[in-house]
Structure 1
């Protein structure tokens, strides 16, 4: 396994990680590894959602309203402009 050294960790952050480690009954090292893994997973999840939304916008056909129907967003904008 690789070794990771982290310098200049603020005291308050170090203390908070120690508290979390105690709450989870883990060593400081195990807690840091868990926090890093959770952070990476959360970031990957956010990036995945952004990619999905971008794909939907790219691939979804524009909705055509039948006849003389007006988009509700247009009506709301017009109403707000009059206020």
Structure 2
């Protein structure tokens, strides 16, 4: 495997990366690799893929997958 060193990382960014890695139960290196992979995939997405994703989200029907209605969930939460 190739080694990549990054210098002069701002303290706040390093702290955020560290917190995110802990939340994801990953090492700091594994989290940085995951974020780099995600960023590159997003940057390389074709316009057709982006439009298809938008279309899927726009016309998603929660009832089709037995997801609860958000209004019902809000009422239940407010009733606590």
The alignment's TM-score, normalised by the length of structure 2, stands at 0.58
Give me the whole-angstrom Cα distance separating, in 2, the residues matched to 1:9 and 1:42: 23
Q: Which runs of 5+ in 1 are unaligned?
A: 54-83
Match of 2:20 in 1: 20
1:13, CA displacement in angstroms? 0.6
Match of 1:62 in 2: none
The alignment's TM-score, normalised by the length of structure 1, stands at 0.56
1:5, CA displacement in angstroms? 0.2
Match of 2:41 in 1: 41
Aligned residues between the structures: 49
Match of 1:31 in 2: 31
Give me the whole-angstrom Cα distance separating, in 2, the residues matched to 1:12 and 1:43: 25
In our comparison, the structure showing a higher alpha carbon Rg is 1
**For the aligned residues, what is the CA RMSD?**
1.6
